[in-house]
Amino acid sequence: MTDISIDGARLISRIQELGSLGRDGDGRLARLAASDADKLGRDLFVSWLRTAGLDVAVDRIGNIFGIWEPPGCEGKLPFMMGSHIDTVINAGIYDGCYGVLAALEVIEAMQDEGFAPSRPVVVAAFTNEEGVRFAPDMMGSLVCSGGMDTDTALATVGTDGALLGDELGRIGFAGPKEPGSLKPAAYVELHVEQGPVLEREGIDIGAVENLQGISWQKVTINGTANHAGTTPITMRSDAGYGAARVVTYLRERALASTSPMVATVGCIEFEPNAINVIPSRATLTIDLRHPVEDRLLEEERALSEFLGRLAADEGLSITTERLARSTPVVFDQRIVAVIEDAAKKRGLSYRRMTSGAGHDAQMMATIAPTAMIFVPSVDGISHNPAELTHDIDLIAGANLLLDVARILAKS
Q: Supply the pLDDT for residue 324.
A: 83
Task: Give the pLDDT score at 358.
Answer: 87
Annotated binding residues, written as ranges, equal: 84, 95, 130, 191, 383
Residues 233 and 205 reside in one and the same domain: no
Please tell me the predicted confidence (pLDDT) of residue 359: 94
| pLDDT per position as a tens digit, 317-362 | 999 999 888 889 999 999 999 999 999 999 999 999 999 888 999 9
Residues 206 and 241 in one domain: no
Amino acid letter, residue 344: K
Cβ neighbours for 179, distance < 8 A, ≥ 6 positions apart: 59, 60, 61, 63, 140, 143, 144, 150
Measured CA to CA, the distance from residue 378 to residue 200 in angstroms comes to 9
Q: Are residues 16 and 139 in the same domain?
A: yes
Which of 326, 351, 375 terminates a domain? The answer is 326
The binding site for Zn(2+) consists of 84, 95, 130, 191, 383
* 3-class secondary-structure state, position 143: helix
The number of distinct structural domains making up the chain is 2
- Burial bucket for residue 319 (CB in 10 Å: 0-12, 13-18, 19+): exposed
Max Cα distance, the chain (Å):
82
Predicted local distance difference test score (pLDDT) of residue 260: 87
Whether residue 136 is found in the same domain as residue 275: no
Rounded Cα distance, 158 and 11, in Å: 33
User: What is the pLDDT tens value at each position of the chain, 411 positions in all?
Assistant: 457 899 999 999 999 999 999 999 999 999 999 999 999 999 999 999 999 999 999 999 999 999 999 999 999 999 999 999 999 999 999 999 999 999 999 999 999 999 999 999 999 999 999 999 999 999 999 999 999 999 999 999 999 999 999 999 999 999 999 999 999 999 999 999 999 999 999 999 999 999 999 999 999 999 999 999 999 999 999 999 999 999 999 999 999 998 889 999 999 999 999 999 999 999 999 999 999 999 999 999 999 999 999 999 999 999 999 988 888 999 999 999 999 999 999 999 999 999 988 899 999 999 999 999 999 999 999 999 999 999 999 999 999 999 999 999 998
Give dist(CA 205, CA 353) in Å, integer.
10
pLDDT for 2: 59
Distances (CA, A) of 83 to 39, 189, 190: 16, 6, 8
Of 326, 353, 370, the last residue of a domain is 326
d(CA 66, CA 70): 13
Based on the domain organization, do 143 and 178 belong to the same domain?
yes
Residues 186, 283 within the same domain: no
Same domain, 137 and 84: yes
Q: Is residue 3 part of a domain?
A: no
Q: CA 145, CA 179: separation in Å to the nearest integer?
A: 8
Based on the fold, state whether residues 319 and 340 are members of the same structural domain: no
For residues 215 and 109, is the Cβ–Cβ distance under 8 A? no
Q: SS in 3 state form for 144-163?
A: HCCCCCHHHHHCCECCCCCE
Cα 34 to Cα 169: distance, rounded to the nearest angstrom: 9
**Domain boundary pick from 294, 326, 358:** 326
Q: Is residue 230 located within the same domain as residue 197?
A: no
The pLDDT score that the predictor gives to residue 259 is 85
Question: Which structural domain, as residue segments, surrounds residue 40?
Answer: 8-211+329-409
Q: What is the pLDDT of residues 207-229, one digit of tens each?
A: 999 999 999 999 999 999 999 99
Smallest CA-to-CA distance from 194 within 33, 292, 325, 83 is with: 83
Q: Nearest CA to 78 among 178, 177, 189, 183?
A: 183
* Whether this model's pTM surpasses 0.85: yes
- Supply the CATH number for residue 384's domain: 3.40.630.10
Position 37 in a domain:
yes
Cα distance between residue 411 and residue 398, in whole Å: 20
Q: How far is the C-alpha of 49 from the C-alpha of 104, rounded, in Å?
A: 8
Question: pLDDT at position 113, please?
Answer: 95
The DSSP secondary structure of 277-332, one letter per residue, reads B--SEEEEEEEEEESSHHHHHHHHHHHHHHHHHHHHHHT-EEEEEEEEEE--EE--
Nearest to 94 by CA among 19, 6, 199: 19
Q: Is residue 292 domain-shared with residue 349, that is, in the same domain?
A: no
Quote the CA–CA distance of 264 and 242 in Å, as a whole number.
16
Q: Answer yes or no: do 163 and 191 share one domain.
A: yes
